[in-house]
């Protein structure tokens, strides 16, 4: 039985699969029924309090595109940091479905490398539904290290294995975009100054050659007594 001509025409006009938008890889975004990500920014020091509970909406559909964004991934490829030109970093992670069911929260630790040691910069406790976190105001030229540790459920039996998963770490350094723009501007100004100096030198040489010599007179034109 032959298909109706109208169906054949619609099939011919349909776009190919490659023309459709490429979907976000599975696992990098939270579930559709998780519109909010609860988190706590923990104060420094072991004697500090638990911090204030906050909520943020997930960054759905985010794509890191150069030159405005640089992506860095962990060794296990399950944690990635997208360093943006506005000196913010979007941290994203993914878990297998079986592992995600055993996680009650995530512990995020941030540190940066100094001349002789590392310094802590931020400690965050994120809910199990979170799959990203925005780190604001990173400094240019500083080497950061972000480690994410899944925390297992507390009501698991004693015979259950170790934690829900090992910590994943990613390192990056924010590119000094402002300094790069200054260098480009200084190069352009320096080139303009060089061109102006060349023009001035040519003009001085022209004036010296054509206007200054006749004022002293030429020996062949002196009057005889």
Instruction: Note the pLDDT tens digit of each residue in 166-215.
Output: 789 999 987 765 555 565 566 767 777 888 888 888 888 877 777 665 55
pLDDT band at 9 (very low <50, low <70, confident <90, very high): very low
172: tokens are: 């990056």
**β-bridge partners, 143:** 173
The per-residue pLDDT for 72 is 93
The per-residue pLDDT for 19 is 33
CA 47 to CA 111: how far, in whole Å? Answer: 19
DSSP conformation class of 138: P
Question: How many of the other CB atoms lie within 10 Å of CB of 167?
Answer: 16
Stretch among 21-25, 39-43, 96-100 having the lowest mean pLDDT: 21-25
Which stretch, 2-11, 91-100, 204-213, has highest mean pLDDT?
91-100
Model pLDDT for residues 24-80, shown as the tens digit of each residue: 455 566 667 677 899 999 887 554 456 788 999 988 888 888 888 999 999 888 999
C-beta separation of 39 from 130 below 8 A: yes
Kindly calculate the radius of gyration of the chain based on its CA atoms and give it in whole angstroms: 33
């Amino acid at each position: 039985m032959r298909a109706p001509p109208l169906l054949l025409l619609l099939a011919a006009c349909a776009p190919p699969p490659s023309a459709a938008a490429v979907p976000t890889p599975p696992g990098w975004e939270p579930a559709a029924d998780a519109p909010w990500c609860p988190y706590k920014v923990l104060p420094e020091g072991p004697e500090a309090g638990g911090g204030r509970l906050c909520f943020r909406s997930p960054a759905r559909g985010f794509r890191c595109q150069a030159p405005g964004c640089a992506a860095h991934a962990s060794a296990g490829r399950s944690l990635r940091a997208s360093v943006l030109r506005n000196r913010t970093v979007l941290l994203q992670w993914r878990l297998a479905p079986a592992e995600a069911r055993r996680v009650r929260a995530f512990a995020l630790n941030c540190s940066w490398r100094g001349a002789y040691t590392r310094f802590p910069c931020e400690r965050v406790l994120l809910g199990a539904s979170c799959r990203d976190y925005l780190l604001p105001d990173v400094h240019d030229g500083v080497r950061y290290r972000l480690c994410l540790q899944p925390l297992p459920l507390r009501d698991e039996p004693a015979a259950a294995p170790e934690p829900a998963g090992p910590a994943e770490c990613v390192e990056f350094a924010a590119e000094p975009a402002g300094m790069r723009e200054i260098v480009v501007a200084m190069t352009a100004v320096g080139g303009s100054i060089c061109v102006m100096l060349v023009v001035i030198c040519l003009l001085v040489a022209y004036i010296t050659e054509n206007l200054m010599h006749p004022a002293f007179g030429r020996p062949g034109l002196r009057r005889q007594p």
